[in-house]
A and B are shown apart, each in its own frame.
Chain A
Amino acid sequence: ILNVEQSPQSLHVQEGDSTNFTCSFPSSNFYALHWYRWETAKSPEALFVMTLNGDEKKKGRISATLNTKEGYSYLYIKGSQPEDSATYLCAPWAGNQFYFGTGTSLMVIP
């Protein structure tokens, strides 16, 4: 079992603020790192799949970076909007299964 930690656990920001979260994982068991966005009463949706050290992905106002050597990934949201309110999950892929963190719950206040 991989120990995956996400911080902070929850976050409240004002509309327009930029924010970032952290996902930490054991670097020795790494194959790929997935980020998911999970809205209440829905199922998780894939945001990014990251595989290479130094990898950087972007989708609109959301971007992510990956450091496999030190075992962490950052997710950034620029100019947060109320529709960004969700739980953001990271999940390292260990070659046969995913190990999910408990997520960062983001609330964007209009």
Chain B
Amino acid sequence: DAGITQSPRHKVTETGTPVTLRCHQTENHRYMYWYRQDPGHGLRLIHYSYGVKDTDKGEVSDGYSVSRSKTEDFLLTLESATSSQTSVYFCAIGSGGDPHEQYFGPGTRLTVT
């Protein structure tokens, strides 16, 4: 299994509070991704990173920010959590090679009450 961990694995928070999810990899892969999983929508990309301090928006980036100060860590921040951000969040890493392979972390279940 690819060395990807996510923390926390479960979190319950109140509307309006800030939340930070962490993704940590031991594979030294260049690409890292944050997705959310919602019924009827499958996996949707929030933000991704193609290197340290290099990030870009995905399909559903509103209300989220990211940071990548080290190769191994990719942080996802909800500045002011809303109930619509209740979801399961998956981090993934990508080799950047040809073909570009992607491996997923175990997921974080976030509930915003």
Contacts and interface: CB of A to CB of B under 8 A. Distances in A.
Interface in B40-61: 40-45, 48, 50, 56, 58-59
Residue among B42, B45, B48, B104 with most chain A CB within 10 A: B42
Contacts of B107: 43
Chain A binding surface, main DSSP class: loop
B59 A32 contact: no
A93 B50 CA distance: 14
B99 A51 contact: yes
A49 B98 CA distance: 10
Interface string B100-113: 11111111000000
B74 interface: no
A44 B43 contact: yes
B103 A46 contact: yes
Interface string A55-95: 00000000000000000000000000000000001010100
A100 B44 contact: yes
B33 A97 contact: yes
A98 B102 contact: yes
Contact of A32 (B35, B99, B104): B99
Contact of A34 (B44, B48, B102): B102
Contact of B101 (A42, A44, A49, A103): A49
Contacts of A45: 104
